[in-house]
Amino acid sequence: MIIEISDIFLKENDSRKKLEIKLDKPKKIIEILEELEIENLGYADVYLNDIKVKKDTKAKNDDKLSVLPIVGGG
Residue 56 identity (one-letter amino acid): D
Inside any domain, residue 49: yes
Per-residue pLDDT reduced to its tens digit, 4-53:
999 888 888 888 899 999 999 999 999 999 999 888 899 999 999 999 99
Query: Taking 70 as the threshold, does the pLDDT of residue 74 lie above it?
Result: no
CATH number at residue 21: 3.10.20.30
Inside any domain, residue 55: yes
Inside any domain, residue 48: yes
Number of domains into which the chain is organized? 1
Inside any domain, residue 74: no
Cut 0.75: pTM above it: yes
Inside any domain, residue 29: yes
Would you list the DSSP string of 10-73?
S-TT---SEEE---SS-EEHHHHHHHTT-S-GGGEEEEETTEEE-TTSEE-TT-EEEEEE----
Domain hosting 39: range is: 2-69
CA angle 31, 35, 37 (to 5 degrees): 115
Q: Give the whole-angstrom CA distance, residue 58 versus residue 65.
A: 11
